[in-house]
Amino acid sequence: MMPEFYRFWYVREGGGALKVDGREVEMKPGQLYLIPPNTFQSFAAEPHVTVSMYWCHFRASIGDAEMFDLLKLPLYVVPDQEERMVLLFEQLIEAYRSLRLTKELRTRAKLLEILAVFLEHGGINEATVREIEPFEKLDAVLKYIEEHLSERIAVEDLARLVYLHPNYFIGYFRNLMGHAPAQYVTMRRLERAKLLLELREELSITDIAQQVGMQGHYLSRMFRQYTGLTPSRYRQIYCDGAKGISHDDDEEDEEGSEDA
C-alpha cells in the first residue's frame, strides 16, 4: 500500500510489525506515529493480539511536505502524557463529527495540536528550525496559489507578495520548492483535480477543469502526463477501488472525449 496522505497512529493496546519503505519497527502502546505519504506501508499483528489505536489521515500541500522532509522527523515518538493524547484524539473525533459551521476549523485545530505534540517530542533543534525559515517567507505565496487555482496566476503577483523582483523570485522559489512557480502551480492544479475526481462524482471533467483554471483538453493532456491516466480513467479506478473492484494494470487506457 502506498497512500498519498499522512497518517497519525496512536497505539493504545497491542501492537505489531510496521514496515515503511523497508524499515521495520515494532509498534507498542503509547507510541505516536507520523507516517509519510508515498511510502510503501504494511502492518501485521499476531492472530491472537488485539490492536487498538486512534488514527487519522490528512493531506499536506507541497510546501508543507517539503518542510516535513527538512525537519527529518522520526517515524514515531512516545508522548509522556497518555491522558492528554487520548483527550486530543477524542476531541478530534468530536470535531470531525460535528455539524457546526466551525467543524473544519475545530478539526484542523485539534490536528495541529497533535502535530505540535509530535514535534515537541521529535528532537528538533535550532539548526533545523533555521533551515525552515525561508519556507515561512513563502507561506503567503503558497496560500495565495491555493486560494486562486481557478484563476490566472501571474509570477509578478506572486513576487509582489514577498517584495522580490520577478526574475529573482523565480530562482528563489525554485531553490526552495524544487520547481519553478509555473510548474508548481500546474502541479497544484493537477492535485486539486485529482481530489475533485475522487470526491465530486457529480462534476464533469469540464467542470473540474474550470475549477482548477485549465482548459478541458489541456487538463486531460497534463493529467495523463502527471498520472499516466486520463481524468475519467483515474476517477473510474479510484471509485472502483473504493468499492473493492480491481483492475488489471495492463488494461488499455480509454481514448476519446473527457467531457462525459
For every one of its 260 residues, what pLDDT tens digit does the chain have, with 9 covering 90 and above? 566 778 899 999 888 889 888 888 899 999 999 988 878 888 888 888 888 999 988 876 545 555 566 567 788 999 988 899 999 999 999 988 887 777 888 888 888 889 888 888 877 655 555 555 666 678 788 889 988 999 999 999 999 998 999 999 999 898 877 789 999 999 999 989 988 888 888 889 999 999 999 998 999 999 999 888 899 998 888 777 655 554 544 444 433 433 33
The C-alpha cell at 108 is: 484542523
Residue whose C-alpha is closest to residue 107's, from 120, 88, 122: 88
- Backbone angles phi and psi of 158, in degrees to 5: -65, -45
Q: What pTM was estimated for this model as a whole? A: 0.54
The SS3 assignment for 44 reads: strand
Sequence-ordered list of residues with C-beta below 8 angstroms from that of 63, at least 6 positions apart, any chain: 135, 138, 139, 142, 177
Whether 13 and 51 have beta carbons less than 8 Å apart is answered as yes
Element housing 180 (H / E):
none
Whether 140 and 108 have beta carbons less than 8 Å apart is answered as no
